[in-house]
Amino acid sequence: MIRVLLVHDICLFRWALTEVLDRENDIEVAAASTRDATERARATRPDVCVVDAESPEPNGTGTGILRKLSKLAKGKGPGKSPALLVLGSAHRPGPLRRAFEANALGYVDKEASPVQLTTGIRQVAAGKRFIDGSLGFGFLQAADIPLTRRELSVLSLAAEGSSVSEIAGVLHLSTGTVRNYMSAITRKTGARNRVDAIRISRGEGWL
């Protein structure tokens, strides 16, 4: 039996997908929001964690719940870490790259059929990489994102309305370093200013 933890913040989506997975004879599914995911993972000890690639990232500091689940798993003993399978979109390369950096093993298009999802779950549960073919272009775009992870973190916080000093506090940087990052972001995106950099990055699916 493959134990699956489904992590998503939309209750109706969680319920619908849980109903789909419950029909499979070899899958046992539990569900949680991102806020409750780590506690639920400790309780259910899943083989596979299915997570929305666009799940909220606390304070814009990286890969959010994916990295938390990955770190949590390491305490369970050799070979016992749950595989991470993310639900992504080809037109949102930023979340795909963050998921890759968090060592996700499987990638399924949000517009794929339930059969594609269950196939992905079985593949990653067996330790095999699974990439939905329709996400190929998204991965090509992800490789071309000109901003580093830190620059994306700075820009994500700026997009939420945080000031330079607030960004510095969250990321444990000096205000001068944050300003340097913002200058680099503006240059790399070809933007006129901070607001334009946010607009361009959102339009490209990086944020």
CATH 1.10.10.10 segments of the chain: 149-204
SS3 62: coil
How far is residue 115's CA from residue 112's CA, in Å, rounded to a whole number?
8
How many other C-beta atoms are found inside a 10 Å radius of the C-beta of residue 89?
Answer: 18
Do the beta carbons of residue 59 and residue 157 sit within 8 Å? Answer: yes
Do the beta carbons of residue 29 and residue 14 sit within 8 Å? Answer: no
Residue 158, amino acid? A
Comparing CA positions, the residue from 176, 174, 179 lying closest to residue 194 is: 179
Three state DSSP letters for 114-178:
HHHHHHHHHHHHCCCCEECHHHHHHHHHHHCCCCCHHHHHHHHHHHCCCCHHHHHHHHCCCHHHH
pTM score, two decimals?
A: 0.75
Instruction: Give the residue ranges of the chain where pLDDT is below 70.
Output: 56-64, 72-80
Which residues have a Cβ under 8 Å from the Cβ of 169 and sit 6 or more positions away?
none
- pLDDT at position 102, please? 82
pLDDT digits (tens, 9 = 90+) for 77-114: 444 678 999 999 888 888 888 888 888 899 999 999 99
- pLDDT at position 137, please? 74
CATH 3.40.50.2300 segments of the chain: 2-142
How far is residue 27's CA from residue 4's CA, in Å, rounded to a whole number?
7
- Phi, psi (degrees; rounded to nearest 5) at 50: -100, 120
Enumerate the β-bridge partners of residue 48. Answer: 4, 83
- pLDDT at position 3, please? 94
* CATH code for the part of the protein at 149-204: 1.10.10.10
Do the beta carbons of residue 118 and residue 17 sit within 8 Å? Answer: no
The yes/no answer on whether domain 2-142 falls in CATH 3.40.50.2300 is yes
- pLDDT at position 20, please? 92
pLDDT digits (tens, 9 = 90+) for 27-39: 999 999 988 888 8
First-to-last C-alpha distance (Å) of the chain? 37
In terms of C-beta distances under 8 Å and separation of at least 24 residues, what long-range contacts does 73-80 make, across chains too? 73/41, 76/45, 80/45
- pLDDT at position 60, please? 45
